[in-house]
Structure 1
Amino acid sequence: MPEPEIFRIPKRRQHVPAARHRIRKTLANWGITGEVADAITLAANELITNAVAHCRVGHAQVRITLTLQGAELLLEVADPDRDRLPRPHNSDPDEEHGRGLTLVAGLADAWGHRTEPYIKCVWARFTVTERLEAAHAPADL
């Protein structure tokens, strides 16, 4: 089982692509590719973007954690604005924003949030069975 991947980015939109790239690289290093990696990366993008956009603590950092345990990957995005908990938003069809958590709910097996003494953490859990199937596949003869 690999060590968790933990990193931080400044609370600025310009750092979201670098976080997305690091997540994609970590997933590839762990053997997670294809549609599962796409779903995890898209969900991560939404959660990180929400943290960057909605955290009202100045000069904050957003902490991203990826943990792989067997066939389960846990994505956690934490920021210090623990009083602003995420809520899914029912967007009108012509609204450009407000669908991120609904998208995460559709991509992940489960999602939620928790508060700790100094942060709030939004998490999403994914099953990554393709990684296990590839690891146990017979070698070509």
Structure 2
Amino acid sequence: MPASESFRIPKHRRHVPAARQRVRKTLADWGITDELADAVTLLANELVTNAVTHCRVSHSQVKVELTLDGRELVLEVSDPDRDRLPRPHDSTPDEEGGWGLALVAALADNWGCRQESYAKCVWARFGLEEVQTHAPATL
């Protein structure tokens, strides 16, 4: 049975560090550390930042979900602005922003987005071939 952790944060920049810390703790609890944990935490930070920055729905929440299923780890970040799907663009070296999706594409094994009934979800998948994990026991 897959292990999963999900939580919501208010759509405000000041809550991004809390989301990043929660992702890092969940990964550590599952025994995922080092470069993979760094990459997943960085991408969680980027995707949550994108969601709180670009979501036009007032007083909403951003959902973060991590799923550990066999040899795959999936990170999903959802917000209620379902009609604004992210689009990568080529940022110039002088631009301060616009690099988030390029990082996702570079660090994840696969990524994408989907529209749901009341939200959009941006997801990133990571293979765990060389990583020993220990998902929490279910009761």
One fold, TM greater than 0.5? yes
1:23-68 superposed Cα distances (whole Å, 9 cap, x missing partner): 0000000000000000000011110000000000000100000000
CA RMSD of aligned residues (A): 1.3
Instruction: State whether residues 2 and 30 of structure 1, in contact with CA within 8 Å, keep that contact through their aligned partners in structure 2.
Output: no
Instruction: State whether residues 32 and 128 of structure 1, in contact with CA within 8 Å, keep that contact through their aligned partners in structure 2.
Output: no
Instruction: State whether residues 109 and 125 of structure 2, in contact with CA within 8 Å, keep that contact through their aligned partners in structure 1.
Output: yes
Q: Which has the higher helix share?
A: 1
CA positional deviation for 1:93: 1.2
CA positional deviation for 1:128: 2.2
CA positional deviation for 1:2: 5.2
Q: TM-score, normalised by structure 1?
A: 0.91
Task: Show structure 1 runs of 4+ deviating over 2 A.
Answer: 128-132
1:79-116 superposed Cα distances (whole Å, 9 cap, x missing partner): 00001100001111101000100001000000000001
Q: What percentage of residue pairs aligned between the two structures are identical?
A: 69
CA positional deviation for 1:71: 1.4
Question: What is the alpha-carbon distance in structure 1 between the residues aligned to residue 43 and residue 3 of structure 2?
Answer: 21
Establish whether residue 92 from structure 1 lines up as the match of residue 89 from structure 2.
Answer: no
The number of residues matched between the two structures is 134
Establish whether residue 115 from structure 1 lines up as the match of residue 115 from structure 2.
Answer: yes
Instruction: State whether residues 32 and 130 of structure 1, in contact with CA within 8 Å, keep that contact through their aligned partners in structure 2.
Output: no
| Structure 2: 5+ residue stretches without partners | 135-139
Q: Secondary structure of the residue that 2:104 maps to in structure 1?
A: helix
2:69 paired residue number: 69
Question: What is the alpha-carbon distance in structure 2 between the residues aligned to residue 111 and residue 67 of structure 1?
Answer: 14
Question: What is the alpha-carbon distance in structure 1 between the residues aligned to residue 33 and residue 100 of structure 2?
Answer: 22
